[in-house]
Structure 1
Amino acid sequence: MSLTFPLGFTAAAMAAGIKPSGKTDLSGVTSASNCTWAFAGTRSTTAAACVTRNRELYAGGQPVRALLVNAGNANAATGRRGAADNADMADAFGSVLNVPARGVLTASTGIIGHLLPMDRVLSGIEHLPDELTEGADAFASAIMTTDTRPKTAQATLSTGARIVGTAKGSGMIHPDMATMFAFAFTDAAVEQEALRAAFPPIVNRTFNAVTVDGDTSTNDMALVLANGQAGEVPLEEFLTALEGVMRDLAQQIAADGEGATKLLTVQVSGARTEAEALAAARTCCVSPLLKSAVHGNDPNWGRVIMAVGRSGAAVDVGRLTVSVQGQPVFAGGPLPYDAAQVSASMKAEEVRFVIDLGVGKASGEAWGCDLSADYVRINAEYTT
Structure 2
Amino acid sequence: MAAGIKPSGKTDLSCVVSAQPCAWAFAGTRSTTAAACVTRNREVYAGGQAVRALVVNAGNANAATGQQGARDNADIADAMSGVMNVRPHEVLTASTGIIGHLLPMDKVLSGLEHLPDELNADVPPFAAAIMTTDTRPKTATATLSSGAQIIGTAKGSGMIHPDMATMFAFAFSDAAVDQDALRAAFPAIVSRTFNAVTVDGDTSTNDMAVVLANGAAGETDLHEFLTALEGVMRDLARQIAADGEGATKLLTVKVSGASTEAEALTAARTCCVSPLLKSAVHGNDPNWGRVIMAVGRSGAAVDIEAMTVSVQGVPVFAGKPLTYDADAVSAAMKAEEVTFELGLGVGSASGEAWGCDLSAEYVVINAEYTT
TM-score band (shorter)?
over 0.9
* Residue 335 (structure 1) aligned with residue 322 (structure 2): yes
Aligned position for 2:362: 375
CA shift for structure 1 position 129: 1.2
* Residue 53 (structure 1) aligned with residue 40 (structure 2): yes
Contact 2:157 2:166 in 1 (8 A): no
Distance 1:20 1:136 in 2: 18
Given candidates 168, 171, 177, the residue that maps to 1:184 is 171
Given candidates 115, 118, 121, the residue that maps to 2:108 is 121
Aligned position for 2:7: 20
Contact 2:159 2:199 in 1 (8 A): yes
Aligned position for 2:91: 104
CA shift for structure 1 position 130: 1.5
Aligned position for 2:185: 198
1:31-50 aligned at under 5 Å gives the runs 31-50=18-37
| SS of structure 2 residue aligned to 1:201 | helix
Distance 1:297 1:288 in 2: 14
* Residue 300 (structure 1) aligned with residue 287 (structure 2): yes
| SS of structure 1 residue aligned to 2:159 | coil
* Residue 93 (structure 1) aligned with residue 97 (structure 2): no
| SS of structure 2 residue aligned to 1:344 | helix
Provide TM-score, normalisation by structure 1.
0.95
AA aligned to 2:104 is P
Distance 1:102 1:135 in 2: 30
Distance 2:214 2:122 in 1: 17
Contact 1:179 1:222 in 2 (8 A): no
* Residue 283 (structure 1) aligned with residue 270 (structure 2): yes
Structure 2 runs not aligned, ≥5 long: none
* Residue 312 (structure 1) aligned with residue 299 (structure 2): yes
Aligned position for 2:53: 66
Which consecutive segments of 4 or more residues in structure 1 shift more than 6 A?
A: none
Contact 1:178 1:207 in 2 (8 A): no
Given candidates 116, 132, 149, the residue that maps to 1:162 is 149
Structure 1 runs not aligned, ≥5 long: 1-13
Distance 2:248 2:123 in 1: 27
Distance 1:177 1:74 in 2: 16
Distance 1:291 1:152 in 2: 25
Contact 1:175 1:217 in 2 (8 A): no
CA shift for structure 1 position 132: 2.5
Given candidates 211, 235, 238, the residue that maps to 2:222 is 235
| SS of structure 1 residue aligned to 2:95 | strand
| SS of structure 2 residue aligned to 1:306 | helix
Distance 2:4 2:270 in 1: 39
Counting aligned pairs with the same residue, the percent is: 83
Q: Pairwise CA RMSD of aligned residues?
A: 1.1
Distance 2:20 2:122 in 1: 18
Tell me: CA distance 1:192–1:136, structure 2 relative to 1, closer, same or farther (3 Å). farther
Contact 1:152 1:165 in 2 (8 A): yes
CA shift for structure 1 position 138: 1.1
CA shift for structure 1 position 133: 4.6
Contact 1:37 1:225 in 2 (8 A): yes
| SS of structure 1 residue aligned to 2:210 | strand
CA shift for structure 1 position 322: 0.1
Contact 1:37 1:195 in 2 (8 A): yes
| SS of structure 1 residue aligned to 2:125 | helix
Distance 2:222 2:26 in 1: 18
* Residue 323 (structure 1) aligned with residue 310 (structure 2): yes
| SS of structure 2 residue aligned to 1:253 | helix
AA aligned to 1:96 is V
AA aligned to 1:165 is G
AA aligned to 1:288 is P
CA shift for structure 1 position 360: 0.2
Aligned position for 1:5: none
Contact 2:159 2:166 in 1 (8 A): no
Contact 1:179 1:221 in 2 (8 A): no
Distance 2:6 2:165 in 1: 24
AA aligned to 2:57 is N
| SS of structure 1 residue aligned to 2:361 | helix
